[in-house]
Amino acid sequence: MLTSRRRLLRMIGGSGALLGASAVGLTQCDTMPSSAIAPWTEPGHDRQDVRERALAHALLAPNPHNLQPWIADLRDKDAITLLWDASRTLPETDPYGRQILIGFGTFIELLDIALRQRGYRADITLLPEGMPGPDADVSALPAQPVARIKIAKDKTISPDPLFNAIPARRSCKEPYDLDKPLLPSHEADLRASHIDTTISLNIAKDGPLPDRLRNLTRDAMALEMQTPRMLKESIDLTRVGAEEIAVNPDGIDLHGPMFWWLKRFGIMTREKAMQPGTMAYQGGIDYALGWAGATPSFGWIATEGNSRAQQIAAGRAYVRLNLRATAQGVAMHPVSQLLQEYPEMSELQQQFRTAVGAKPGTTIQMLFRLGYADQSAPSPRRPLDSIIRT
Ligand SMILES: Cc1cc2nc3c(=O)[nH]c(=O)nc-3n(C[C@H](O)[C@H](O)[C@H](O)COP(=O)(O)O)c2cc1C
């Protein structure tokens, strides 16, 4: 990324078309719109209904492509029915809805933690009307509720210390310090905090494996970005500049002076980002490959089997690790390309499974970078009212 950023900055800096753009002007334009990140500050402070307060925390959950496909139906008193917005799926990169269901798991876990904080017990029934199995096409899935959650005040419920990490948690999409693998004390702490014994947690930080995973991750990213229908899915969900982010506070957000100028001068358009040979296309690839390479350690979590309930459980486990990492100052970031279920990826996926010694029948649900970096800025969130139905 740094190389391509420098290249781009040199180019726009040297462009005659930019005459008159002072350094001050360059840095002032196009900051993240405050409305898009307002949900991160004092979540739910303006809500009386305990369910809404908890949902304001839950919507800060990590989720694939930041699609935020959640709908919380609050029409039954003391209950939340969690639904899947059918307009929010990733048919190319997530053809069976596995990743989206993991994202429901992260949401449910944060909801549960936030309810506990206020002394409420959540009785969670997953998939109350069932859901087609793991090989079913994603288009069939949103018709079924994902969970029904009854809540009740309960004196025996104790708060979860991870609550405090919710607003600080990030998927840290930055290069990590390559010379600093995960410290043994941090590894031990993450392992100790992982409580769901049905899900295995694996960490690669020593020996030749991290390097092998870096290469596989980079190859998978390059493959995905060179596969036009995959690239298009991401580009369609990319919001370039503050104006687009303010209108759609979701998806992949690109903002800051560099993107503002690139967009303004027609260098960064959706069409160009799809066209090999353009700066927009190559910049995207360089960016992703840059931080994939700058990864000293990796983690992954896996389930024996791949039921819908296991996918949700994997999401719950993942976000707990992400919160615990946040509390320790460890950077963490999912890299899912190697796990994705489309034919072009299957060969690399097999190489990855062999490299990590995955047994037949095991599903690796999340693969993530681990290391140390400056924490990244919060990503946009839709306002609470856009996900609740009363
Ligand atoms: C199942 C799942 C898969 C994800 N895969 C990727 C990925 O491949 N690449 C990536 O940059 N982020 C990935 N993410 C992280 C999301 O992009 C991130 O959660 C979202 O942009 C919101 O940002 P935040 O987590 O910092 O709040 C994934 C998250 C989940 C839950």
Is residue 198 within 8 Å of 313, Cβ to Cβ? yes
Q: 19 CA to middle of ligand 1, Å?
A: 38
Indicate if 239 and 207 belong to the same structural domain. no
322 lines ligand 1 (CB under 6 A): no
The range of the structural domain enclosing residue 252 comes to: 2-30+227-275
Question: 131 CA distance to ligand 1 centroid (A)?
Answer: 24
Rounded to the nearest angstrom, the distance between the alpha carbon of 63 and the centre of ligand 1 is: 5
Q: Note the pTM of the prediction, 2 decimals.
A: 0.93
d(CA 186, CA 329): 9
| Domains of the chain: total | 3
Judge if 22 and 52 occupy the same domain: no
Q: Print pLDDT tens along the chain (390 aa).
A: 334 444 444 443 333 333 333 333 444 457 899 999 999 999 999 999 999 999 999 999 999 999 999 999 999 999 999 999 999 999 999 999 999 999 999 999 999 999 999 999 999 999 999 999 999 999 999 999 999 999 999 999 999 999 999 999 999 999 999 999 999 999 999 999 999 999 999 999 999 999 999 999 999 999 999 999 999 999 999 998 898 999 999 999 988 777 777 788 888 888 888 888 888 888 888 888 888 899 999 999 999 999 999 999 999 999 999 999 999 999 999 999 999 999 999 999 999 999 999 999 999 999 999 999 998 899 999 999 999 999
The CB of 306 under 6 Å from ligand 1? The reply is no
Tokens 């709908």 sit on residue = 71
Ligand 1 contacts CB of residue 106 (under 6 A): yes
> Which of 63, 230, 291 has most ligand 1 atoms within 8 Å of CB, for mutation?
63
**Ligand 1 centre distance from Cα of residue 162 (Å):** 19
- HSE of 112, CA atoms in CB hemisphere, 13 A: 20
Task: Tell me: do 81 and 185 sit in the same domain.
Answer: no
CA separation for the pair 222, 304 (Å, rounded): 29
CA of 345 to the centre of ligand 1 (A): 19
Give 364's contacts (C-beta < 8 A, 6+ positions apart).
300, 301, 302, 339, 352, 353, 356, 358
Nearest Cα neighbor of 370 from 318, 330, 321, 320 is 330
**Does residue 99 line the site of ligand 1, with CB under 6 A?**
yes
- The reply to whether ligand 1 has any atom less than 6 angstroms from the CB of 66 is yes
Determine the 3-state secondary structure of 324 from DSSP: helix
- Please work out whether the CB of residue 68 comes within 6 Å of at least one atom of ligand 1: no
> 99 and 188 share a domain?
no
Same-domain check for residues 155 and 51: yes
User: What is the distance of C-alpha 138 from the center of its chain?
Assistant: 19
Contacts of 296 (CB under 8 A, 6+ apart): 176, 177, 178, 179, 180, 181, 182, 205, 210, 370, 371, 372
Q: What CATH number has the domain bearing residue 346?
A: 3.40.109.10
Amino acid (one-letter) located at 141: L
- Nearest protein Cα to ligand 1, atom 21: 66
Q: Is 171 in the pocket of ligand 1 (CB under 6 A)?
A: yes
Domain presence at residue 89: yes
User: How would you class 146 by CB atoms within 10 Å of its CB: exposed for 0-12, middle for 13-18, buried for 19 or more?
Assistant: buried
Do both 202 and 332 map to the same domain? yes
Q: Are 303 and 198 part of one and the same domain?
A: yes
Return phi, psi of residue 304, to 5°: -85, 105
Query: Which token pair is 336?
Result: 């899912």
